[in-house]
Structure formats: C-alpha cells, structure tokens
Structure 1
Amino acid sequence: MGKVRHRKQTRAARVAASSAPLTDTSDPTNNPHPNQHREGKKGQRRDAEMQDLLDKLRAPEGRDRVFAASTLSSLILSLPPMQLRLLLSRNLIGLLIERLSTLSAPSSSSSSTPPPSDDLSTAIESLGALRNLAVSSPPHILSEMHNKRLLLPLATVHLPLLAHFLPHQLAPPPAPVKPALPATAEQRRAADAANEAHDTLRRSFWDWTENVLTLVWCLAESNTKILAGLNAHAEHIVALCVALLDEDRLGIDKLDGDEQRGEGAAGPGGMDVEAGAAGGKALKKKDVKREKAKRLRVPLFVAVAAAQTLHAFISSNPAAHTHLLSSAGSFTFSPALSTLLSILLTPTPPSSSSRSSTASTDAAPAGPSSSDVDAWAQLRVLAFGSLLEIAKGRSKRRDVETVRDALRSDVAQGVLLGLVGSARLEDSVGEAKKVAGEIDPTALPNQHTTTSDSPAGKLAALERQSQTLQLALEVLSEWLASGLPAAGSFDGAPGAGAEGEEEDDEEQEAWGGISMEVEGGDDIDMGASDGEGEDEAMGGDQVNEADGVIRRRRGDTPTADDSMLDDLAATAGDGDDSDGDSGDDDDGAAAETSATKSGALALLSSLPLQLLALSRPTSLSFLSPSSFAPSPLDAPASASASSSGLISTSASSADLVPHNLAPLAEALTTVHVRATEALNNLYVVLSRAGAAKGATAAARRDAKELQSVFESALQLMLGALEGARTHGPTAAAAAPAASGKKGKGGDKAPQQQGGDEVDEVQERRLEVVMAAAGVVWGCVRLGLDPEPGAGLVVGPDTTPFLIQQVYASPFAAEPTPSGEAIRVRTLGALGYLGRRQGVPAEENAQIGRFLLSLLPARTPAASTSPSTVASTPDILLQAIDSLIDLYADEEREYDVPVFREGGMLQALEGSVPGVRAAIKKVDRNKFPELRSRADGALENLVAFVGYRKEVVKQRR
C-alpha cells in the first residue's frame, strides 16, 4: 500500500546549471551578463554554508551538532533539487546515520537514565532529516539509506530505547535530581545535565518515536530486499507498534466477550481471556474509567504512525505474522489481535485522547477534537488493513478465525464502506477553494492560526480527510482482491482438500481456462529481474498471477491468492442470487451468517456507483506544479466547469490555483486512482461470480449501472491519454516510475521546474489507464450474452479506440509490468467485445485480424512489424486465448464471412511454428509456471487449428 505522504511545497527558486564558462569580468563593458558574477558568488557562499553545516554535524560541541542537524532537517523540505543533490553527493545520509549511532542500547545498569541531552537531540533531529528525505525523495534514496546500514542503529539502538522508555514516558514525571549538599561544582553540573536529559527525553519522546516509525514504515514499503533486513528485527518492530496501540495507553475501554460476540468479533472464548473476570470488573467500572481518565495517553498522531508501520511491515510478509499471533501451545487470544480488534470496533476516539504526556493529570478529560476524529478514523482503517493481512492466510487457528468473523461484521465493513459512501469530493473542493482564499500568506504559523476553526485548520482537516479516504480505498481494494474466506474453506477443513482443488480448477475453466491464468500476467514482474529475485528470496510466489486484480505492493510487485478471491466471488454470487441457489457454493459459503450476507448485498448494491463517483476528476485533480500560484489567488467561479470528466484539467484553465491547495490536489488525484483500482477489483469479483453462476446471474446486475461504469471507464482512459499527450514530460518517462524504477531515472529527468512532480502526475494517469482497462474488461464480461435487452451498448468507436489509442499508447508501449497490464487487459476486453451478441462482422474482423497480427509468423521475413507482435509471453498467451474464444463457436453469424472466407484459419495455422519458437524461449527453470501455461496455450492452439480444419472438412 502506498504511503500517505505529507509533502511540503518546495521553493520555486532553482540554481541555474549552465555549463558555459563565465565571461571575463575584468572589463564590465565586455560583460553581457553583469549579474552572472554576483550569482556565482552567491552560489559559492551557499556551497560554503552547506559544507559548514555538514562539518558541524561532527563538531565536538553538542549544541553545534544539534543546530546543524535541525537546520538540515528543515532545509531538506525547502532546498531546490540541485542543491539537495549536492548535499547528498557530500555523504549527507552517511553523516546523519553516523549521528544516530552515538546513542547506546539500554542496559540493566541504566534502567531509567536517559541519554545525554545533546546526543539525544542530535539523534532526533538527524532522524527527522532522514525521515523528510524518505517521504519526499525518490525511492532510490531509501536504497542508499539501507546500503549505508541505517537499519543497524534503528533496530539495535532506537527501537529498544523507545520500548524501554515508553513506560517512563507514560508515568508521572520524575522528581528533579538534586545533588547532595554540600555539592561541588561538578556534582551540580552532573545534576543539571541529568535534569536536562530527563526534560529533553520527555519533551521530544513522541517526535522521536514518530521519526523512527516513519522511517521503518518507508523502508518496509520500499522493496523486498530491505524487508528481508527488517524481518531480522521483526520482534522489536511489532512489539513497539503494538505497545503504542495498547488499549490502556490509548484510553480504549476493552470490550467484554459478550459485547464482542454481539459485534461478530469473537467466537466462544475468543476474547474473554482479555476481558478479565466480568464479575469483579462490573463493580469497579466507574473507578476504572476515572483512573483511565487520569492516565497519560499515547498521542493519536504517534498511534497512527505505529499503525501505518505495522500495516506496511506485515503486508505480504507472512514472516512477520507470527509475532502478532499467540504461541502455538497457548490457549489465550493474541493480545496484539485483541488490541487491533478493540481499535476497529470502537467507533469514536477516547474522550481524552488529545491529552499529551506533559499534561496535568488533574485536568478534566477533554472531548475529541476534529483532528482526533480524523486520526481515529485513519487508525480504524489501518487496523482493518492489518487484520485483513492476518485473515488472508491459510491458518485455521481460533484467533485467526475470530479475526475473519470480525471483518465480516457490519461494524467492521462499515469502517471502509462508510468513508467511501459519505465522501463528497466536489463539496470538499468547493470548501477548500473558499477557505484557501481566506488564508493570509504573510502570517507566521503559530498555534492560533492552526486551530480547527481557522482557515488553515479547516484546510488541514480537508487534507486529512482526503488522505484517510485514500487509505480506505487502498485497504478496500486489497479486501476486494483477497476476500474473506469462510471458516471451513481451508485445506484440511471438512470439505476441503483434493475436492476443493477440483472445484477451483472448474472455476478456472468457467473463466476460460488459460484466460484466467494469463490475465494475472498483466501484473507479473517479467521485466524486472531484480524484483523477481528478491521475491524468490523471500519465498513469495510472485509469478502466479491469475485474477487480474490490482494490489499495492512493495516496489509495485503484486501478489494474488486465488482461493481468497474465489470465496469472495461466491459471497457476491449469494448476495446477487435471490432464489438462494447454492449449487456452486463451497462449504464455507454455506456457513455464512446473516450479517455477512447483508454486507455482501450492501456491497453489490451501492459500492460500484460510489467508487465511480470517486474516480471522476475534480477541478483540482491531475494538476501539474505550474498550475499553482506562488501566492493565494481567488479561484474563478467557472473553475468547476473546467472538469469535463477527462483527466486533463490542468490544460483546460489558464488561471492559477492557490499554492496552499497543492497537498489537497495531490491527495485528490491519488483518491481517483485508488477508486478506479478498487472498481477494477470489484468488477473482477463480480465477473468471476457471473461466470460461476452463468449468464443469468450476470444479467441480474443493474443494466444502467453496468452501462454507466463501462462508459465512465472508457472516458477515464480517454482523458488520461489526452492529458498525457498534452502536458508535462512524455509518458515514456513516467512509465518506468510506475514500475518501481522511478529512482533509477530520477536523476536523469529534465531539470525543469516541478519536473519530478509532473512525472508523478503522468504516473497517476498511467495507473488510471491500467485500472480502467480492467474495469472495461470486467464490464464486457458481465455484459456478454445476457438476457435480451440487458446487455452493454457498445458504440462503433469503442473497438478502434481500444486498438489504436489504448493498446498503441506510450503507456502501454513501455516494457514494464504496468505497460504489459494495459495491453493484456485491452486484449481481454477485445476478445469479449468481438463475440458479444449482435456484433457487426466488420468489427469482429477488425478484432480478429488485430489479435492474429500479434502472433509471430513462421519466418522473420513474413512477420509483421515488431511493434505489433506480442512482446512478452503473457501478451502472447492472452492473444491466443482471446482469438480461440472469439472463433470457438462455428455457428456464430460472423464465423463464415470473417474466419472462413477471410483466410484466418490458414494464417492461424501458419503462426503455430512461430508461437512454438517464442514459447521455447521461456526458460523452464526460471519461470516454470509461466512455461507450463505457455505449453498449455500451444496445445490449445494446435488443437483449435485441428478442430477448425475438421469443421471445414465436414462442411464440404
């Protein structure tokens, strides 16, 4: 899952990097550029100041080190890219990591003695600088941090120190240290140093914690090589995150076993062990609440960082799951899962959650502020995501079964669906534009100008809400892609085993056999050998992509679990079947509760149109940095009309947008992308459920809804492609970034104002095209051969658009997993469009000839243009599958004029040797599953040619 980044607006000033020599300034009359010499002196002075800061990081005086580290932490967010690269070239990262190592791990002899004040402050400020680099720089910066051994001080020093001093931070402040009288000057200095160390630790502890957690969070999401290094310290990482999320430390009242069972969160004995003896607790409930109100709490911003780190660390990382579960021989419910369930099932934040560790314990509990409410919503979403990672496994443990039941409850699903259903992006944009004009750009930020009622506070609230919505959509996409398996649907359970495997195979055949397997190939990292090697080292099965879903993964490397998706597809089918037919359901689906079925019905009835509304761009979406003014300007009244549903709004208006709307604009752009991805995953599930139930069940979908989603997905692709052609750098520069290679080409980007941000906008357009192509594929599956009058209405320009603009676009042409995804999904959609009821023979022939052109010919001389031939095995397999399905029924009305009289059989037979040669190039040792599927596709092609030749003989 992508990080919710809190980016800062960098200054527009840049250093002019001219390779031309300076003109001789000895004679001012001969100098055509009199300011050049002055600018050169300014540049030299800046370089000297930067070097002086780096030198002060190693200064013997502690205050100099603190000043240098804090200054660098602030400069990283405001320096122009060229000066930042200059700093990085002078070993900035290495010097900052060196400052982290000055602290020592806790020991028994120093149980309550904090580190020296200057050393701790320097380490915290250095962590802040590294954190700012991690969240605002290309991914290769994280790799550089890892290569310079950042994990060593983080895991061996800072994580243990934070865990060690957390109880001290939440306890009342210690009494000041006083030297015994009569005291010498040295003793008084030692007492002052100890008091200063305690004060620094107490004042900076939460910032220290957030910096460490954010760094671990960024590292965990970078790539699997770094994740493998983090796994060596998984116990410390998980323990600290869970300790910060503890119910008592957040102020949550633990739910009793009966309450949790009422919410569908626990089975018999599931949570009673954590609730304690009910009899004794009820008598002292008021006293317990009064005592909790006096306790110091973990701030919610730190809890959110801990939840983000935990979710990022355990995502697609089974090695870390064991640290969240109870030991194998334990009969108690996992305390870590109990903590996450309590957060998920608590709808409102604790009343005094805003209390900090420095607040007075006698103060009255304060009600939750708007920022607390937003943070708590984000915390519940992250708890859902973390529990989902545990529920996706194959474990049959009781605590894991309890988690699955909890995630099926209406309360848990309402965490995600409630945020999606209540979001009104246009209203948020209108309010943001109104508030942005009220902010004084010359006012200095302070605690009065950032209150919740101030314009800046309202704008910050809108940004937080959009970021929470973005996170909810990411978790929702993963939930739709993975599903929630029933308790008895695993290997080893009753009704599972070999019979269950046969049912899975039958369901694959219902999807077209090789079609289902090849579809996932759009996400296979075939073009990134480094990523694949890392995945194999982690024991992951990254090449078995078979469901066409979109998953946010480290380095954008997706994974899939067919059985999870099968179960969710069966659930969707039950919700759509009013007659209660369960002939195709597995044993797990038969055991669903009424709450689960009601959740499935709500999902199917309202979610598609809600996601569709969130995928439509607003007037603030997909804007390049040049669209923002350096100072706030009044947004024109006609700005809302500039958004025509196409992702090219930055060119439709010449008026500049207030610069303080840039973070919100970036968040809204990501919301559109994530909503489209969730819509893609939803229609994968619906189309598989329709395939399992047959055409009748598929036709029961609302025809108007299906038509609206289909047309909107095409419009999203059109707008993204037009925006890519019109604005910013070429799509070819953005596609590698979308495939996890952004860091490698980041330094080669054109040195222009906002170039990196423009590339990111292009990357978002690419993601929209990829996800919308999957939505189109799912829609045409559901609209294939339905009941009369319920099918899709396909315009005459749809097929040419998919072939000439989508498949041939620069996004799709890139040799990356994202480009391959667009091409494979486009071919899949064309295969279904070409065999729908009433398809014109001319359109069918266009699709058939295009698919045939992708197959390699017998000899290179007879081959078509290299740009039209399938460039990867997955594209080739999808082209073969779509072509076979297109002409599998010789009774169709287009078969005689197109396939037989058009000479396609001879061309198809002539392509068999070329296909065989291309398949032989797939290394069986490196890609055994891909080679197996390719061999199966070749057998199908040979059998299909033989079958059609027999049909010709019989007709004669």
Structure 2
Amino acid sequence: MKETRKYKFGLVRILPDLVSLNFSTLLSLPGLFSMGKSQKKRAMRRHNPMRVPDSHLPKGLASASETSSKTEAILPIIQKMQGTDAAERKWACVAVSNLIQNDPSTRRLLQGKNIVGALITRLTDSEEEVVIEALGALRNLCIDGGYDICAEMYNKSILVPLRTFVPKVSTTLSQYLDGPQNAPENAQKLVYEFADNLITVLWCLSETSNKALAAINDMKLTPFLMSFLAAREKIPLAPVTAAAQCLYVLTDDNYPAIADVRSDGGYIACLMSILNPDENSVTMPNGKSADCPDPRVVTLRVLASGILRNVSPIPPPSAASAIDVDKDIVLPQLQPVIAAISLPDASASALQLISQQEATPNIEKLSLKNTPKSDHKSSAEIELERLEGRLRTVQLALEILTGACATLPDPEPEANVPSGQNEDGEGEGEDGDEDIAEEDGDDDELPADIDMAVDRDEGMDTDTPTTLPTLVEHLLALIQPTTLSFPPLATPSPHPPTTSALSAIHVAALECLNNIFLALARTTASSSSRSAAIADAGGRAVWHAVWAALGAVGTQTGLGQERRRAMWEVAVGVLWGVASVCRGSLDPNPEHVQALMALCDSASGSADTDAQLRVKCIGTLECLAMSMSPGPASVQANATIATYLLSMLPSPSTPVSPAGTEPMLQAAASLIDIYSDEGAPWDANFRAGGYLERLAGGVDGVKKAVRAIDRRKEGGRELRRRGEEVRDNLVAFIKYRKDLRLF
C-alpha cells in the first residue's frame, strides 16, 4: 500500500498568519488531510501455486538427477510412453503420476526429459485407456508443479486436444443423467474421473497467463461447468468440486465468464441452492467441516460463495439481486469454516499419519507385471490428502474473506461520488495510513463492541454489532505457526503438501487481517473518541499477537524459506495499521525497532515488492517514534528511528538516496509527521540533533528524485504525484520550522 500523509502545498506561504500554530494544528484544518481508501490489490489467482515446493533444489538436470532417488526409472518410462504396445504406454502414464508424488526432484527430472510433450501426444492416442491415464498424469503435474509446468503445457498446445474432450464429456454426462441404468458403473466412474482431470487441468491453465485465460474464455465453459453443479446430487463430488473451482477462478476479475454467469438466472439460483442448509448434499452440521463425511462438501459451499462474490452485483430480475453478498453470504458462510479448524491439531494429526505411513512398507514396484494404479494409496496417505483438502479449503475461505474486507467502504461516503469509481483509487481519497487493528484493553482478548461494516454500498454503521471481534480472534489463531509450518532451513518437511498448506494459511490470514485493519483505521479516524479508544486497546492485543507469530517464524532465509519472508512482508503491513491506530500509545520495544530496521535493510529497494516492504517498515517505525510514554526510553527510541530515517534522505555528499525513491519519500513524509508538533516530548531530539539542517540539505536531492520518476511506468503517475506532494510538504515544513526559531 502506498500510504503518505498529505499536506496542503505551500502552507506557510498561503497561511502566513498561522505561523504561530504548530504544524500538526495546520494539518488538522479542513482539507489538509485526507485518509486513504483501500485499493483492492489484485491477488495471485492460483489457489494452489505449488503443492510440493521445489525452490530449495538446485537448478538444472544434473542436480535433479543427483537429488532424485528414482533416476533409473525415468528412461524406461520415456521409452515405453513412445512404444507400440498400448499396455506399456498406459503403464508409463500411470508411472509418471506415481513417481512425482511429493517428489519435486523427480518431477523436475521428468520435465527436463520433455514428459509434458510426451503426455500431450498421448492425449490423441488410439487407445482410450492411454488417453485417460495421460490426462490424469497431466492433471497431477499441474497441481504439483505450479505455473511453470502449466505454462509449458499451454505453449505445447494442450488446449487443442482438450477442446475436443469438452463436448464429448458433456454429451456423455447428459446420457448418464438421462438413463443411468443404461451405463455400467465402471464406465460412469471412468467418465467422472476423466471429467475431474479435464476440468482441473483447465482450471490450472486459466491461472497461467492472460493468453491462456483468453483461450479458455473462447471455449465458453460456463454451461459445461454449471451442468456439473446442477447435477451435484447425482454424480460424485470430485468433478462437481473441480467444476466449482474452475468457475471460481474463471469469474475472478474476468468479465467474459462473469457475464456468462450473470446472463442466466438459473445459474445464480443453482449457486444459491448450494448454500441452502436444508440440502442434505451440502449440509454442514454444526457449521463445522470436521462433522462432514467429505471435506469437499464444505469446499463446494466455499466456492459457491466465492463465485457469487465474483459475479456480484447480481442483476435483476434474479431474487438474489437484493442480497448484500459480503454481509449475507460471504461472512456467514466462511467464518464457520475458518473457525472449525485447529492448526495445531491438524499439524499433530499430520505428524501421526506420517509416522504411520513410514511404518508401512511400500511393496509397489514399477513393473508391467504389477502395474501401479493412480489411486493406489495407503489409508495414511488418503487421510493426509483429506487433511490437506480441509486446509486448502480454509486457505480458499481466507482468500475470499480478504477480498471482501478489501472493499469495505469509507465510514462516511462523500456526496456526489459515483459508486463506480475506478479501481485504482483516483478520486476515492488519497493514500492513507495502511491497516489498523482492534482488540480489548487486555492483550489477550478482543473487545465485544468493535463494529465492522461489510456493506459494499452503504457507509459503516458503527452502532450495529457485527462479527468483527470473533473474526479477528479466529484470524489471530490462524497466523500462529505450528510444528510443520516452517521446517528448519537444512531440514526438509516430512510432508511438503501439509507444510505448504499450513504456511499458506498463515499468510492468507495475515492478508485478511491487513484489510480488516485498514477498514478499521478509516472508522477510527472519523468516529468518536470512545470508538478510537476501543480500537486502540484492541490494536495493542493484535500487535502482540503478530509479533508472537513472527517470533515463532524466525528470520531464516534461503531457498525453500520464501514463505517465512512472505509472513514478514504481510505482517509488517498489519503492524503498520495497528501502530497507526495506536499512534502514541505503543511503547517502542527496542527489539521490535531493530527487527523492523533489519527487515527494511534486507530489501534492496529496487524491486517494487522490496520498495513496498521498506515503505511499510518506515511507516511502522514512524508510529513507534511518536510514543507518548513518559521517560527517556521513548525519547531515545525516537532519536534512534529519526537517525535511521534521516540516513535514507539524499544529502550534498550523497545526492541519490541509498534506500530508493519510494522509501526515501516515505522517510521524508514520516519525519515531517513525527516532528510536526514542536510541543511533543521528543521534539528535543529535532533541535539537539540538527535535524532541520539535515532535512534542508536533502531538499535538492528529493527534487531531483521526484523529477526522475517516469510517469510512463506502471504506478509511475501515482508515485510522481505523491513525490511532488512530499517535496512541497518538505519545503513548507522546513520553512515553518525555521520561522519558529526554536534552536
């Protein structure tokens, strides 16, 4: 988030008769400060980006061969897949699925041998069983391999054969539904499994690139996918859930699919019926997924909620057009899902299942005499997959909740502002302080009377009790790492899929908290002092909970530890929001200050993500520097932070900021905020440290940096505007402080 406090340009020149007031008083004048509105950050589409992470492995085929224990099996598979014997070709396709399971080294090795191209060729095989097994292998590669393999599949024209499969599956499905007694059970099973694999591959491909998404849009899949949802009571859950997942992805900020769903009232009615608690096929007893015989029942309801949110607002004449999707569907449906999971219990269960799995010898061999089966799994493996499915459903629910929280409205919408304001936030308010938290005066409990609006079209109603305290309580539980969440740097996870799912949930929960606190920040900024006090007290509890989670995550870096870094990157946004709400009331812990500085220094400042991380760190440090706690400790922390921020500014000897342009602008804005009130207890540091001269020496460098911002680059226009504001504010602030003559 780009958060910068705004000041009217040339304050002292425009208002010469107000120089006797402190700078913070000037800021409080109408029009001189505007709170930013949340911008919906485009989330990564992929629900499961890398089921079995492989970033810890060295690059190249040679290293893949060294780290794979199944190197000798690769050549026979490749040879048999291209052979003349259909049984051998089928065996080779099944073997691929078995070899890559939880084994990224072997997956990489197979990929280096063009296994993707070989399997795509088999999709046009003359033998039906070979085609079925080839598509199953491709499906498993999509799920385990992530974007790279999906992109390779698209580039190798996998959509050509897939297009021919869609009408065939659709026709067969209609025949089975019309006369199930005429089709053998094993034939139906094959068709449903094939449909599951086909839809899953299309789902994964649609998340690969805009080109792949456009090609899949051309296939007009909505009627095909909705036919599975409509027949959910008559067919297995697997293809139904896959169809819902594919439709959820396709309707995510993708107008062609959104328009297709909106165009048919029957589609909306079908999705709404999935959420109907009276339907036995989708009932969630007691609101807990653990009570359901199949976790995919819960997943289906979560996906239906997400699809309805994606296509909202629902146009008339549908009866659902009057429904507030976020308030009436998303929160009631998804909050029980995230409440029903205990991550420590899930981690303990996974470890127990892993020990059972290790104690059971694997007697399967890759031989034609004993052909491996795609579904040949031990009971422990099946239970681990079910557990992973529950965890992924929680991750998905958090993703949808995050989107709902990102679009919460301002507490008091400005008059004459059209509801369809552009998504980049122009005209919707400026860059405000980022995310904000809430909890009770106790550090351990949330206050019972914090309110959260979820109405997307109306202002916040701070008098109506809502689910915010409970929701935040559940989210705080989900950010706390478990034994399996972040394995040590040199120790691989005993079950990578579970580790991937757990760490993804922690990050997703933080992202949801991030958006909730931003909404609360706007509420607090415009509400009564009582509401502000509640948010302040609650924010301190969240502050401690987030730091506790980060302490458990640690600061290990290296290949395979990317999720640790992601935790810190998202958590700092939450901390900035909490600190903004609690501005002045948080005691600056020296360890927290040093940790934020170290994290800021670890970012290069060049890449956009690194620059944003630095901005968040600087914003949080700014708030900590303004502690109103009496005593020398807070004054010393202020001096430490100010010295650090001053080091990011250009100077006559260092005309280019070492921090990068955007962090440097944030540092300048933060210094202005910190020392805007010359009556603050820490202002002695400003005078004794010669900060005014240091700021004045950086003005020319700031001006040059602002002029150098390229408006043509993505985000350049907004950054240039912010830079010009900071530059003018800095000039006005320096003149203001000089006119005070406080030396």
Report what 1:24 is aligned to. none
SS at match of 1:146: helix
Q: Which ranges of structure 1 fall in alignment gaps of 5 or more residues?
A: 20-38, 103-117, 177-197, 252-296, 327-332, 354-367, 520-546, 550-571, 629-649, 651-658, 725-729, 734-758, 786-790
Partner residue of 1:588 out of 458, 461, 472 = 458
Measure the CA separation in 1 of the matches of 2:713 and 2:489.
43
Quote how far apart the aligned CAs of 1:889 are.
2.5
Are 1:428 and 1:462, in contact at CA under 8 Å, matched by a contact in 2?
yes
Q: Output the amino acid matched with 2:626.
A: R
Measure the CA separation in 1 of the matches of 2:725 and 2:381.
65
Q: Output the amino acid matched with 2:90.
A: V
Q: Output the amino acid matched with 2:599.
A: V
Measure the CA separation in 2 of the matches of 1:951 and 1:604.
42
Are 2:309 and 2:330, in contact at CA under 8 Å, matched by a contact in 1?
no
2:192 paired with 1:206: yes
Report what 2:76 is aligned to. 49
Partner residue of 1:301 out of 210, 215, 238 = 238
Are 1:699 and 1:782, in contact at CA under 8 Å, matched by a contact in 2?
no
Quote how far apart the aligned CAs of 1:781 are.
1.2
Are 1:877 and 1:934, in contact at CA under 8 Å, matched by a contact in 2?
no
Describe the superposition over 1:680-737 as per-residue Cα deviations: whole angstroms up to 9, x where unpaired: 222222222212326542212372x43232122223334434333xxxxx2xx5xxxx
Q: Output the amino acid matched with 1:478.
A: G
2:514 paired with 1:680: yes
Report what 1:226 is aligned to. 212
Q: Output the amino acid matched with 1:693.
A: S
Partner residue of 2:275 out of 322, 326, 344 = 344
Q: Output the amino acid matched with 1:613.
A: A
Measure the CA separation in 2 of the matches of 1:241 and 1:229.
16
Are 1:387 and 1:403, in contact at CA under 8 Å, matched by a contact in 2?
no
Are 2:475 and 2:510, in contact at CA under 8 Å, matched by a contact in 1?
yes
Describe the superposition over 1:103-138 as per-residue Cα deviations: whole angstroms up to 9, x where unpaired: xxxxxxxxxxxxxxx533222222112112211125
Quote how far apart the aligned CAs of 1:878 are.
2.3
Partner residue of 1:69 out of 82, 85, 93 = 93
Q: Output the amino acid matched with 2:122.
A: R
2:709 paired with 1:845: no
Partner residue of 1:953 out of 730, 736, 739 = 739
Are 1:784 and 1:832, in contact at CA under 8 Å, matched by a contact in 2?
yes
Report what 1:271 is aligned to. none
Report what 1:779 is aligned to. 578
Quote how far apart the aligned CAs of 1:925 are.
2.8
Quote how far apart the aligned CAs of 1:375 are.
1.1
TM-score, normalised to structure 2, is 0.78
Partner residue of 1:419 out of 322, 337, 344 = 337
2:175 paired with 1:168: yes
Measure the CA separation in 2 of the matches of 1:483 and 1:16.
46
Report what 2:116 is aligned to. 93
Are 1:769 and 1:822, in contact at CA under 8 Å, matched by a contact in 2?
no
CA 1:932–1:6 in structure 2 vs 1: closer, same or farther (change >3 Å)?
A: closer
Report what 1:408 is aligned to. 327
Are 2:228 and 2:240, in contact at CA under 8 Å, matched by a contact in 1?
yes
Q: Output the amino acid matched with 1:95.
A: A
Quote how far apart the aligned CAs of 1:80 are.
6.7
Q: Output the amino acid matched with 1:799.
A: V
**Map of 1:126-275 to 2, 5 A cutoff?**
126-154=134-162, 156-173=163-180, 202-233=188-219, 235=220, 237-246=221-230, 249-251=231-233
SS at match of 1:808: helix
CA 1:946–1:841 in structure 2 vs 1: closer, same or farther (change >3 Å)?
A: same
Are 1:349 and 1:373, in contact at CA under 8 Å, matched by a contact in 2?
no
Report what 2:591 is aligned to. 797
Partner residue of 2:679 out of 864, 867, 891 = 891
Quote how far apart the aligned CAs of 1:616 are.
1.0
Identity percentage over the alignment? 27
CA 1:680–1:802 in structure 2 vs 1: closer, same or farther (change >3 Å)?
A: same
Name which of structure 1's ranges 434-443 and 420-429 shifts more when overlaid on structure 2.
434-443
Measure the CA separation in 2 of the matches of 1:165 and 1:763.
44
2:600 paired with 1:807: yes
Q: Output the amino acid matched with 1:168.
A: Q
Report what 2:307 is aligned to. 386
Report what 2:360 is aligned to. 441
Are 1:4 and 1:471, in contact at CA under 8 Å, matched by a contact in 2?
no
Q: Output the amino acid matched with 2:704.
A: A
Report what 1:914 is aligned to. 701
CA 1:548–1:89 in structure 2 vs 1: closer, same or farther (change >3 Å)?
A: farther
CA 1:433–1:55 in structure 2 vs 1: closer, same or farther (change >3 Å)?
A: closer
CA 1:457–1:68 in structure 2 vs 1: closer, same or farther (change >3 Å)?
A: closer
Describe the superposition over 1:129-170 as per-residue Cα deviations: whole angstroms up to 9, x where unpaired: 21122111252222211111222322x312222222221132
Q: Output the amino acid matched with 1:132.
A: N
Q: Output the amino acid matched with 1:614.
A: L
Measure the CA separation in 2 of the matches of 1:837 and 1:99.
70
Quote how far apart the aligned CAs of 1:335 are.
1.6
Quote how far apart the aligned CAs of 1:821 are.
3.2
Quote how far apart the aligned CAs of 1:438 are.
5.0
Describe the superposition over 1:761-797 as per-residue Cα deviations: whole angstroms up to 9, x where unpaired: x111111101110111111111125xxxxx3343233
SS at match of 1:589: coil
Larger Rg: 1
Q: Output the amino acid matched with 1:921.
A: A
Quote how far apart the aligned CAs of 1:205 are.
0.8
**4+ runs of 1 displaced by more than 6 Å?**
12-19, 42-45, 368-371, 443-451, 498-501, 504-507, 572-575
Describe the superposition over 1:795-814 as per-residue Cα deviations: whole angstroms up to 9, x where unpaired: 233222211x22123xx337
Report what 2:346 is aligned to. 428
Are 1:217 and 1:309, in contact at CA under 8 Å, matched by a contact in 2?
yes
Are 1:348 and 1:376, in contact at CA under 8 Å, matched by a contact in 2?
no
CA 1:911–1:793 in structure 2 vs 1: closer, same or farther (change >3 Å)?
A: closer
Partner residue of 2:131 out of 116, 123, 136 = 123
Quote how far apart the aligned CAs of 1:171 are.
3.1
Q: Output the amino acid matched with 2:400.
A: V
Are 1:426 and 1:618, in contact at CA under 8 Å, matched by a contact in 2?
yes
SS at match of 2:398: helix
CA 1:612–1:347 in structure 2 vs 1: closer, same or farther (change >3 Å)?
A: farther
Report what 1:561 is aligned to. none
2:397 paired with 1:472: yes
Structure number with higher relative contact order (C-alpha < 8 Å, ≥ 6 residues apart): 2
Measure the CA separation in 2 of the matches of 1:499 and 1:97.
44
SS at match of 2:556: helix
Quote how far apart the aligned CAs of 1:172 are.
2.6
Q: Output the amino acid matched with 2:619.
A: G
2:648 paired with 1:857: no
Quote how far apart the aligned CAs of 1:406 are.
4.3
CA 1:371–1:808 in structure 2 vs 1: closer, same or farther (change >3 Å)?
A: same
Report what 1:358 is aligned to. none
Measure the CA separation in 1 of the matches of 2:62 and 2:719.
54
Quote how far apart the aligned CAs of 1:903 are.
2.3
SS at match of 1:324: helix
Q: Output the amino acid matched with 2:515.
A: N
Are 1:912 and 1:942, in contact at CA under 8 Å, matched by a contact in 2?
no
Aligned length: 666
SS at match of 1:722: coil
CA 1:799–1:436 in structure 2 vs 1: closer, same or farther (change >3 Å)?
A: closer
Are 1:467 and 1:667, in contact at CA under 8 Å, matched by a contact in 2?
yes
Describe the superposition over 1:160-214 as per-residue Cα deviations: whole angstroms up to 9, x where unpaired: 22222221132335759xxxxxxxxxxxxxxxxxxxxx88753411111111111
2:497 paired with 1:690: no
Measure the CA separation in 1 of the matches of 2:719 and 2:74.
58
Report what 2:627 is aligned to. 836
Q: Output the amino acid matched with 1:673.
A: V
SS at match of 2:262: coil
TM-score, normalised to structure 1, is 0.62
CA 1:851–1:938 in structure 2 vs 1: closer, same or farther (change >3 Å)?
A: farther
Quote how far apart the aligned CAs of 1:68 are.
3.4
Report what 1:616 is aligned to. 480
